[in-house]
Amino acid sequence: MSGRGWLATGAVLAGLGVALGALAAHGLDGVFAEKYAGQTRVVTGVTVPAAAKYLADFKTGAEYQLWHALAILAVGLSLRNRASTLMHAAGWCFLLGTLVFSGCLYALTLTGLRWLGAIVPIGGVLFLVGWLLFALAQWGGEAPRE
């Protein structure tokens, strides 16, 4: 993918992140209250209503999507100045991390399929690898474009 492709991808993910965050803030509380009425979940040893837990999880997915959309934009901007295999790899990690981490959180909260929670950390690892690759690319010796 080109620098422009990463910029477009980051912009689309950011826009969707805003829309999903707005959905969480203004529309899902009632849906989750009805869907998960009377259910609870244990969070760090404390029992909480499932609707509140899932709403918070959905918002976490949107927040991480927004942050990593910005990271993808940074990848695109960086690639406009310097060709970098590491930067492309970072972009892919950010994109796949968003799909896995945020996507699984969205699916888990909307469906109640709790096994999806076991997949979410894979997205978190992809985010961490992406940030490491991003840092290495900045220190890398690949020649700047002229």
In order of 12, 42, 112, 120, 121, the CA distances from 115 in angstroms are 28, 15, 9, 10, 12
Domain encompassing residue 14: 3-139
- Structural domain contains residue 144: no
How high is the pLDDT of residue 83?
85
- Structural domain contains residue 20: yes
User: How many separate domains does the chain show?
Assistant: 1
How high is the pLDDT of residue 146?
47
Of all helices (H) and strands (E), which one includes residue 77?
helix 50-81
pLDDT digits (tens, 9 = 90+) for 18-76: 999 999 999 999 999 999 999 999 999 999 999 999 999 999 999 999 999 999 999 99
Please report the beta strands in the chain, taking only residues with DSSP state E, as ranges in sequence order: 40-43, 46-49
**What pTM was estimated for this model as a whole?**
0.91
Rounded (10°) CA dihedral 118, 67, 33, 52:
70
pLDDT digits (tens, 9 = 90+) for 73-111: 999 999 998 889 999 999 999 999 999 999 999 999 999
How high is the pLDDT of residue 82?
85
b or e along 107-117 (b: 16 or more beta carbons within 10 Å of the residue's beta carbon)? ebbeeeeeebe
How high is the pLDDT of residue 135?
94
